[in-house]
Structure 1
Amino acid sequence: MREALDHWDYVIAAYAIGLGALAILIAWSWQAMRRAEKRRDEVKRK
């Protein structure tokens, strides 16, 4: 058991959460873009 608090555990956890959230946001935005492009193409065909 450690006596002193180690801040690196929290720093690593914060980066992991931040990068995970960023990956989810990028995937969600990419899917939204694909749906919008598909709707645009359908409107152009009419």
Structure 2
Amino acid sequence: MRETLDQWPFVIAAYAIGIAGTLVLIGWSWLAMRRAERRREKAGK
């Protein structure tokens, strides 16, 4: 009987980390954009 390490949990974890990181980056960028728009509107008045 040969025991091998199943790679699929690691592949799934890598994809989950990649997708979660992308979503966090999108959210952070969106919030930064909103703050910059508010600052621009304040400065323009």
Give the total of aligned pairs.
43
Partner of 1:26 in structure 2? 26
Q: CA RMSD in A?
A: 0.7
Moved over 6 A (4+): none
Does residue 12 (structure 1) correspond to residue 15 (structure 2)? The answer is no
- The TM-score, its normalising length taken from structure 1, stands at 0.86
- The TM-score, its normalising length taken from structure 2, stands at 0.87
Identity %: 58
Structure 2: runs of 5+ lacking an equivalent: none
Q: Is the partner of 1:4 in helix, strand or coil? A: coil
Structure 1: runs of 5+ lacking an equivalent: none
